[in-house]
Structure 1
Amino acid sequence: MTKTKALLYGLFLLTVVRLSAQSNALSDSPYSVFGIGIPNAFSTGKTNALGGAGIALKSDNSLNALNPASLGAMPVKHFFFDIGYTSQYTSLSQGSRNGTQSISSFSNLAMAFPVTKESAVSLILAPYSKVAYNLSGVTTSIEGSTSFYTSDVEANGGVNSLDLNYGYSFWDKLRLGVTGTYYFGKTEQTTYNDILGYSLDIQEESRYTGYRLGAGLQFDLNQNISLGSTLKLPATLETNQKSIISQDYDDDITEETSLDNFDLPLEIGFGLEFKFGENYAFYTDYIRKSWSNTQQADALDYYKDQEEFKAGITFTPHPGGLYYWQNIEYRAGINYDTGYLTIAGKDIDQYSLSLGLGLPVSRSGSKLNLMYSYGQNGTRSNNLVFEKIHSLSINFSLDGIWFVKSKYN
Structure 2
Amino acid sequence: MKSLLLNMFKKINYIAAVLVLLGGNAALAQVTTQSPYSRYGVGNLKSLNLPQFKAMGGISSGVWKPDGYSYINMQNPASYAGIQYTSIDIGASGSISNLRRNGASESSFNATLSHVALAFPVTPRSALSFGVLPYSELGYQFSNSATLSSPGNSASQAVNYIYGGEGGLTKAYFGYGRQFGDHFRLGANVDYIFGNMLQTRSTEFVDQTNVLNSRFQTKNSVGGIGFSYGAQYHIDLDAKTSLNFGYSGSSSSNINSRRTFVVTQYLKDATTGNENGALDTLQITQDAKSSLKLPLVHNFGFTVEKFGRWMIGADYRMGKWANFMIDGQNQGLQNTYGMSVGGQITPDAGSISSYFNRVDYRLGFTYDKTYVRINDQDIKQMAVTFGFGFPLASTPSRLAFYKINFTTELGKRGTMTNNLLQENYINLHLGFTMNDKWFRRFRFD
TM-score (normalizing by structure 2): 0.79
Distance in structure 2 (CA, Å) of the matches to 1:391 and 1:169: 35
Aligned sequence identity (%):
25
Q: Which residue of 2 aligns with 1:327?
A: 358
Distance in structure 2 (CA, Å) of the matches to 1:287 and 1:43: 14
The 5 Å alignment of 1:173-184 reads 173-184=183-194
Aligned length: 380
Amino acid at match of 2:379: I
Amino acid at match of 1:175: R
Q: CA deviation at 1:125?
A: 0.6
Q: CA deviation at 1:140?
A: 5.9
Q: Which residue of 2 aligns with 1:307?
A: 337
The 5 Å alignment of 1:219-238 reads 219-222=233-236, 223-238=241-256
Give the secondary structure class of the aligned counterpart of 1:304: coil
Q: Which residue of 2 aligns with 1:3?
A: none
Distance in structure 1 (CA, Å) of the matches to 2:102 and 2:388: 37
User: Does structure 2 conserve the Cα–Cα contact (< 8 Å) formed by 1:45 and 1:63?
Assistant: no
Q: Which residue of 2 aligns with 1:385?
A: 421
User: Does structure 2 conserve the Cα–Cα contact (< 8 Å) formed by 1:214 and 1:230?
Assistant: yes
Amino acid at match of 2:231: L
Distance in structure 2 (CA, Å) of the matches to 1:142 and 1:257: 37
The 5 Å alignment of 1:247-396 reads 247-248=265-266, 250-252=279-281, 254-256=284-286, 258=288, 261-276=291-306, 278-294=308-324, 301=332, 303-322=333-352, 323-363=354-394, 364-396=400-432
Q: Which residue of 2 aligns with 1:214?
A: 228
Q: Which residue of 2 aligns with 1:402?
A: 438
Amino acid at match of 2:167: G
Distance in structure 1 (CA, Å) of the matches to 2:123 and 2:441: 19
The 1:189–1:278 alpha-carbon spacing in structure 2 relative to 1, beyond 3 Å, is: closer
TM-score (normalizing by structure 1): 0.85
The 1:270–1:65 alpha-carbon spacing in structure 2 relative to 1, beyond 3 Å, is: same
The 1:193–1:46 alpha-carbon spacing in structure 2 relative to 1, beyond 3 Å, is: same
Deviations 1:173-221 (A, max 9, x none): 2111011111111022344433443243444322122221121111111
User: Does structure 2 conserve the Cα–Cα contact (< 8 Å) formed by 1:354 and 1:372?
Assistant: yes
The 1:84–1:143 alpha-carbon spacing in structure 2 relative to 1, beyond 3 Å, is: farther
Q: Which residue of 2 aligns with 1:9?
A: none
The 1:259–1:344 alpha-carbon spacing in structure 2 relative to 1, beyond 3 Å, is: farther
Q: Does 1:54 align with 2:90?
A: no
Amino acid at match of 1:390: I
Q: Which residue of 2 aligns with 1:108?
A: 115
Which region of structure 1 is more displaced relative to structure 2, 56-65 or 328-337? 56-65
Q: CA deviation at 1:172?
A: 3.3
Deviations 1:337-395 (A, max 9, x none): 12222211111011100110000013343210001111111011111111111111101
Aligned CA RMSD, in angstroms, stands at 2.6
The 1:318–1:153 alpha-carbon spacing in structure 2 relative to 1, beyond 3 Å, is: same
Distance in structure 2 (CA, Å) of the matches to 1:29 and 1:259: 28
Distance in structure 2 (CA, Å) of the matches to 1:275 and 1:100: 40
Amino acid at match of 1:94: R
Give the secondary structure class of the aligned counterpart of 1:147: strand
Q: Does 1:32 align with 2:43?
A: no
The 1:278–1:209 alpha-carbon spacing in structure 2 relative to 1, beyond 3 Å, is: closer
The 1:105–1:140 alpha-carbon spacing in structure 2 relative to 1, beyond 3 Å, is: farther
Q: Which residue of 2 aligns with 1:194?
A: 204
User: Does structure 2 conserve the Cα–Cα contact (< 8 Å) formed by 1:72 and 1:119?
Assistant: yes
User: Does structure 2 conserve the Cα–Cα contact (< 8 Å) formed by 1:174 and 1:220?
Assistant: yes
**Could you list the runs of 5+ residues in structure 2 that have no partner in the other structure?**
1-32, 267-277, 395-399
Distance in structure 1 (CA, Å) of the matches to 2:147 and 2:436: 59
Distance in structure 2 (CA, Å) of the matches to 1:406 and 1:116: 17
Distance in structure 1 (CA, Å) of the matches to 2:225 and 2:389: 34
Distance in structure 2 (CA, Å) of the matches to 1:124 and 1:73: 18
Amino acid at match of 2:338: E
User: Does structure 1 conserve the Cα–Cα contact (< 8 Å) formed by 2:51 and 2:406?
Assistant: no
Amino acid at match of 2:204: D
Amino acid at match of 2:421: V
**Could you list the runs of 5+ residues in structure 1 that have no partner in the other structure?**
1-26
